[in-house]
Amino acid sequence: MWLLVMFDLPVGTKAQRRQATAFRNWLLGQGYEMSQFSVYMRFCAGKEQVERRIRDIGRNLPGTGSIHVLSVTDRQFAQMATFRGRQRGQGRSAPEQLALF
């Protein structure tokens, strides 16, 4: 499954900008990658991991703003239409899993 975090955080004051930057940096530190400036995504191995990540986000919310978290299956995520400039890109697939022996 893929977890998408979409947010609109106020940046009118220096303190608000600091909070928004801290939240974005926290997401990056947790393994999320930036899809767009306020849209971050992360692959999760299953429903339990999705629920744990949502709880973690809930514990690290900035004081203000709007944050939406959406989980989609690999199949749904792969069907997403992506455009870069005027070219249509391909959907992403789940990352390969490492096997350690």
* Boundaries of domain holding 71: 2-81
Cα dist. 89→48, 55, 57 in Å? 30, 32, 30
What CATH number did the domain enclosing 16 receive?
3.30.70.240
CA atoms of 26 and 31, how far apart (whole Å) = 9
Residue 101 in domain: no
Residue 88 in domain: no
Looking at the structure of the chain, the number of domains it has is 1
Residue 49 in domain: yes
Task: Write out the chain's pLDDT in tens, 101 residues.
Answer: 999 999 999 999 999 999 999 999 999 999 999 999 999 999 999 999 999 999 999 999 998 999 999 999 999 998 888 887 777 766 555 566 554 54
